[in-house]
Amino acid sequence: MRRSVVVPTVLMAALLAFAGTAHAAELKVMADSPLGPALSKVADLYRQETGTRVELALAPSPVVKQKIEAGEAADVVLVQPDFAEELAKSGKVSAGDQPMIGRVGIGLGARSDSPDRDISTSDKLKQTLLAADTLSFNKVKSGDYFATVLERLGIAETLKPKIIRTSPLGIFDPVLKGHGNDLAAGTIPLIATTPGIKYLGPLPGDLQDYLTYTAAALTSTRQREAAEHFIKFLTSPKAKDVFAANGVD
């Protein structure tokens, strides 16, 4: 009789210890910078629902890839598909299911106290850009694409003296230090969530382009089950609603 009481008690203690460990779990997620504003809200929702905290390490996809290749520890990575594919080839992330998490478009921003601009058509965008004192955009993929937009509009050479190429997060500095007629082109979530910056709108029509993002678990993670659960959560209707509300389609 005594033995039948002790065994369930020990088993219950083990289950409680396991539950406490799961509740206190923490995942490290390395992700491309444009996802930051939306991903932080999704991560907070995940913590509320599961008790698992998510530490975000944000950087451009090329930098994330370099850090992982250099041995930086993490559990999940969210980057553009070509970088995820390279990491899979090198054995750094799982080569299996890598679901698409969302996509981010490109838009324009100005200082919050400046007038609104209409960029809803190619011609209106062109006139707005020509009237700017400075135009800043980054040196990575979204900025390289925007440079082709200027060429397609036929104003690349005209605007050349006004253009400032920066780091992804540096595009807003010339605008905030300017006099109100300075513009920044970049990913929509960063523009829409940066203090002091007014989101003017997306690139119109076929001038628009998107950065897409996929998620994968690192092969070195010690929390594979938790990592895979988080990735599955990223594709859930709840997460997609939060992403969409913060500029990630």
Q: What is the mean pLDDT of residues 149-168?
A: 96
Residue 100 pLDDT > 70, yes or no? yes
Are 11 and 96 within one domain?
yes
C-alpha span between 54 and 76 (Å, rounded): 10
Domain count, the chain: 2
pLDDT digits 0-9 by tens, 193-242: 899 999 999 999 999 999 999 999 999 999 999 999 999 999 999 999 99
CATH of the domain at 115: 3.40.190.10
Q: Are residues 42 and 109 in the same domain?
A: no
Same domain, 179 and 190: yes
- The reported pLDDT for the residue numbered 10 is 42
Same domain, 9 and 81: yes
**Prediction pTM value:** 0.78
Task: Quote the domain boundaries for residue 234.
Answer: 2-102+213-245
Per DSSP, helices labelled H in the chain are 2-23, 36-50, 61-69, 81-89, 122-130, 141-153, 156-159, 173-176, 188-193, 224-234, 237-245
Same domain, yes or no, for 97 and 60? yes
Q: Do 19 and 84 share a structural domain?
A: yes
Phi (first) and psi of residue 94, to 5 degrees? -65, 135
**Region 173-189 average pLDDT:** 93
Q: Is the pLDDT of residue 7 over 80?
A: no
- Rounded Cα–Cα distance for residues 168 and 163 (Å): 15
